[in-house]
């Protein structure tokens, strides 16, 4: 029996314009009010995740920076994994490459990140991968930003580490996501769901694909896999 939910934010709880789906939040609150643990997971920063978690009503357990950072509760210690120095080296190579083409990369919240480098999707992700292919980093295009991250740390690995600290196992979780950075999380969880707007690789990794897109797909999944609760959404 599923005991917990881990859910991506951008593209899953939000639409493509990053507007939060209020129906999905209400469905999540039904779970919280019935004792189901809820973890929000994102490529975004911890401070962003804190704001989303507090307004949603969770207890503050989060996965941030695509698995490079996780924490149990608002007062918990940040668990930070990854070599950010190697990410900066790769980023500076990219910076020089695009400067030679008259382009400037736009960093996203660099002062609030612990493990990865994120920048705006103004350049092709495949080109970024080619430029830094000799460096010990991986490039992730989430559909909202491009991330440079040390290999070996994913949302799935963060879930595997986080779950025991919550007194749970990964198989206790329903995982919902849309992007390629959600695939490992979806595979590790007891049940993995891709919303209808998800990347093709994410859908392949999922146990079930929602009929609806974005937050409406989250509502659909929650109602399907936690059917014993009453949802007025």
Residue in this structure with the two tokens 């040390």, named with its chain if needed: 150
End-to-end CA distance of the chain: 23
Give the DSSP letter of residue 14: B
Residue matched to tokens 């920076």: 65
CA dihedral angle for residue 40, residue 186, residue 215, residue 208, rounded to 10 degrees: -150
The yes-or-no answer on residue 126 being catalytic is: no
Residue 44 half-sphere exposure, CB side, CA atoms within 13 Å? 19
Find the catalytic residue in 8, 116, 178, 182.
Answer: 8
- For residues 139 and 132, the answer to whether their CB atoms sit within 8 Å is yes
Angle, CA of 129, 133 and 136, to the nearest 5°: 110
User: In angstroms, rounded to a whole number, what is the distance separating the alpha carbons of residues 190 and 112?
Assistant: 32
Just list the catalytic residues: 8
């Amino acid at each position: 029996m599923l005991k917990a939910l881990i859910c991506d934010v951008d593209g899953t709880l939000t639409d493509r314009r990053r507007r939060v789906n209020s129906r999905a939040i209400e469905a999540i609150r039904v779970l919280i009010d019935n004792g189901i643990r809820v973890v929000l997971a994102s490529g975004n920063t911890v401070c962003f995740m804190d704001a989303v978690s507090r307004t949603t009503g969770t207890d503050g357990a989060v996965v941030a920076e695509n698995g490079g950072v996780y924490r149990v509760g608002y007062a918990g210690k940040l668990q930070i994994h990854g070599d950010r120095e190697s990410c900066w080296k790769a980023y500076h190579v990219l910076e020089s490459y695009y400067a030679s083409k008259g382009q400037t990369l736009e960093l996203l919240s660099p002062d609030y990140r612990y493990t990865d480098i994120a920048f705006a999707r103004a350049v092709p992700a495949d080109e970024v991968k080619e430029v830094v292919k000799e460096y010990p980093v991986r490039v992730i295009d989430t559909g909202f930003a491009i991330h440079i991250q040390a290999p070996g740390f994913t949302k799935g690995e963060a879930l595997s580490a986080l779950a025991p600290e919550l007194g749970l196992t990964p198989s206790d979780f329903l995982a919902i996501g849309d992007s390629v950075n959600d695939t490992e999380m979806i595979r590790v969880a007891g049940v993995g769901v891709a919303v209808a707007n998800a990347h093709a690789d994410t859908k392949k990794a999922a146990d079930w694909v929602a009929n609806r897109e974005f937050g409406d797909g989250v509502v659909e999944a929650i109602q399907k896999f936690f059917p014993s609760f009453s949802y007025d959404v």
